[in-house]
Amino acid sequence: MEASGRAQRRQGRLTDAASIDLEDHLETTMTHIARAARKALLSATLVTTLVGGSALAQTYPSKPIRWVVPSTPGDGSDITGRVIAERLSRELGQPVVIDNKPGAGGVLGTEAAARSAPDGYTMIVGNAGSHGVNAGIYSKLPYDVVKDFVPVAMICTTPNVMVVSPSVKARNVAEFVALAKANPGKFNYASGGVGSSAHLSAELFKSLTGTDLVHVPYKGSAPAVAGLLGDEVQVMIGNLPPWSAQIKAGRVQALAVSTAQRHHSLPDVPALAESLPGFETLAWFGVLAPAGTPRAVVERINTLVNQALEQPDIKARLATLACDPAPATPEAFASRVNGDVARWKKLAAEKNIRAD
């Protein structure tokens, strides 16, 4: 009886062991099956994405594309955007239409673009003001310039330029600062609107020089140019493209450029940093799309813009505007936008510059 009991117990242990082995085997098998299924699903998703992206790239665009410009005609984004839009219209076989939506320093047009369908048919020709400065001086924007947009392609960069009206008897920055200090509150400075790079550049200038200048915001660069030519305002530190022809014609005097070194388009005009160490602002213009725009569309537009910037006729047209072509990947463009947002937020906080 005892021997029989031992045999039964041994048989029970063997059965339990076999059962455990079977469970382990089944669990391992199911794990392998699950992994294989996941791999198959991922592969299928990847193939679908690639095929879908490829198909989209081949059929896009099937209708006109709208490029919102958050400023008036004649502004830097408008001028440079039209140069590239004209070229892309020929390449794509569909019109790339410029849609000017000025107001609130670029906020109105930028919001309109952010709220558009992310289908590749609405983009924005943004700039350092609309997608940099505004994030620093507005406590509440109806969009997030980083999260609500995907940078598509850079167009060009250009300095800001400090110009004075013919009525101002100053031949250089030092003479203007002395004149402004002797007449506090009597000189008006223009900008293309609250939150524009011209606004922040002038506020930085005031802070570094201790001058008292009165801000007169216009609805875009074109009316600001007219205001200075008409002596409604006496000084502006604005994007160079709208001023290039006026400077060459001798209608205004350029005192300095805002880049760290002199700009090749105005070799005889000093850099502001020569008088004010550390002063540097660089304007840029580029195409952005609403977040969620298909990657295939982003890559296609990026490729076409970069190719356009290599063409001699495009380079020549941008050169007349004192703009330097700046081909870049979407990722490099995103890095510039993020850097500008961080920089202007820091500056606005330090100088207590607010637009609301």
Check residue 90 and give its pLDDT: 97
pLDDT of residue 317: 95
Q: Tell me, which fold does domain 65-157+284-351 have in CATH? A: D-Maltodextrin-Binding Protein; domain 2 (3.40.190)
Q: Which pLDDT does position 120 carry in this prediction?
A: 98
Amino acid (1-letter code) at residue 305: V
Q: 61 preceded by cis ω (within 30°)?
A: yes
Residue ranges of alpha helices (H) inside the chain are: 2-59, 76-92, 107-114, 134-137, 173-182, 197-209, 221-229, 241-248, 272-275, 295-309, 312-320, 330-351
Cα–Cα distance, 284 to 129 (Å, whole number): 9
Residues of the chain with CATH 3.40.190.10: 159-275
The pTM (predicted TM-score) of the whole model is 0.78
**282 secondary structure, DSSP code:** E
What was the pLDDT predicted at 47?
Answer: 41
What is the pLDDT at residue 137? Answer: 87
What DSSP state is assigned to residue 270?
A: P
Tokens, residue 345: 């937020």
Inter-residue contact 165 to 228 (CB < 8 Å): yes
The CATH 3.40.190.150 domain(s) of the chain lie at 65-157+284-351
pLDDT value at position 352?
Answer: 80
pLDDT of residue 117: 98
Spatial distance between the Cα atoms of 265 and 208, rounded to a whole number of angstroms: 26
The Cα–Cα gap between 65 and 97 comes to 6
The confidence score (pLDDT) of residue 355 equals 77
Residues 6+ apart with CB under 8 A from 337: 131, 132, 145, 146, 149, 151, 288
Residue by residue, pLDDT tens for the chain (356 residues) are 444 444 454 455 444 444 444 444 444 444 444 444 444 443 444 444 444 455 666 789 999 999 999 998 988 899 999 999 999 999 999 999 999 999 888 899 999 999 999 999 999 999 998 999 999 888 899 999 999 999 999 999 999 999 999 999 999 999 999 999 999 999 999 998 887 888 889 988 998 999 999 999 998 888 999 999 999 999 999 999 889 889 999 999 999 999 889 999 999 999 999 999 988 888 999 999 999 999 999 999 999 999 999 999 999 999 998 999 999 999 999 999 999 999 889 888 887 878 77
- CA 277 – CA 191 distance, rounded (Å): 23
User: Is 159-275 a domain of CATH 3.40.190.10?
Assistant: yes
